[in-house]
Amino acid sequence: MDERFNRWLLPPLLALLFLLIVYQYVSPACPGAACPRRPPASAARRWGGPAEREEEEAAAAAGAAEEEEEEAEAAAAALPRLVAKFPFARGELCRRVRFDMRGRDVIVFLHIQKTGGTTFGRHLVRNIRLEQPCYCRAGQKKCACHRPGGDKDTWLFSRFSTGWSCGLHADWTELTSCVPAAMERRGCAGNRTLRNFYYITMLRDPVSRYLSEWKHVQRGATWKTSLHMCDGRSPTPDELPTCYEGDDWSGVSLQEFMDCSYNLANNRQVRMLADLSLVGCYNLTFMNESERNMILLQSAKNNLKNMAFFGLTEFQRKTQYLFERTFNLKFISPFTQFNVTRASNVDIGEDVRQRIEELNFLDVQLYEYAKDLFLQRFQYSKQEEHQKNRLKRREERRLLREQRAHQWPREEAAEVAVTEDYNSQVARW
């Protein structure tokens, strides 16, 4: 009887003991310290086992390495390696102008024929995001570019803002001696000594520019009203003869255009950027030709390098980027690169191309110098921008880690408080 009773009693007792053990570990809370409490999730993250910590550290290191690798790949993709031809100092590559539009700063645009200057000039008056945009009337080329705040003074000296105030397509020699006085004649308030003039220009591949000018002259353009002022006077007819008789040179062939030895299209970019007073202006007997050419080229290089900004017709987007970085101004619409032009439609042989390069040998050297400086400035600005963004992302990640580190103790304290409050309630029950 006892043996049979014990046999029936043992299974329920064992089942009850099993239930108590299971309840001890899976119950939501235990009174007092009757059962071990699982650590909060935050604590588990922070004080996990050695294997977990190693895994987290490895994951963090892998994530950081992956981020650095992505940044390096992005920088390498954005900036193809540039082989510099000319050495430039950091100050010559880093161009930043604190342009004060409300003050007395003025942008002066030196417009060289057939370099895309008309398109760029329109960008300046119609496509810059300004506090007070330029006022352009329909049907009129000139726009009123006044400073913000009701000041009638202008911040832009260009064909489409002030007109040809210093003469048609005035060059560097004319502008530097004319602009301050021209601003005073316009009735702009302020002492000229307080103004800051920032010169800018556009350059173009010499062969393309030469062919474009030929096509323009062939259609009837002359620019014969240009003053060519130098040392206070215009050149005499003997110093600057014309290549044609009559009103214009319409219908001129490319061969005739190249055969005129005193054609101003030859080396136009060097002549318009150099200080002509250094070589006796247009007096070709002032010094020998080789010395004159050397001085003109070096003067053009120096003036171009010291300008606040210059762009290249063949690099429209880079030109837009560098202008925005230089003056801290933003364009509304992106620049468009036109690869099909009148010059590109001219089919010439290699012998003709070489002849044009010979006629413009100074411009060829200047453009090589300008292109190298332009691309080095672009690369320097892009690298500077990448470095700034990299430091910004690194700082953001550091702040995020600190924020998470401060949140973990608060989460742990909140979980402990909730558990203890629940346990106290169970104990009272």
CA gap 363, 273 in Å, rounded: 11
Q: Which of 169, 216, 228, 386 is catalytic?
A: 169
- Tell the burial category of 63 from Cβ atoms under 10 Å away from its Cβ (0-12, 13-18, 19+): exposed
H helices within 49-193, ranges in order? Answer: 50-78, 90-93, 117-126, 172-185
Q: Kind of pairing, strands 156-157 and 196-203? A: unpaired
Cβ-count burial of 240 within 10 angstroms (0-12 exposed, 13-18 middle, 19+ buried)?
A: middle
**Active-site residue 169, yes or no?**
yes
The three-state secondary structure class of 286 is coil
Place of tokens 């009103």: 247
Measure Cα distances from 200 to 100, 101, 158, 175, 306 in Å. 16, 16, 10, 11, 10
- In this structure, the number of other CB atoms found within 10 A of the CB of residue 124 comes to 22
The C-alpha atoms of residue 144 and residue 115 are separated, in whole angstroms, by 24
The two tokens of residue 238 are 């003997």
Beta-sheet strand order (sheet of 196-203): 156-157, 105-110, 196-203, 309-312
As annotated, the active-site residues are: 169
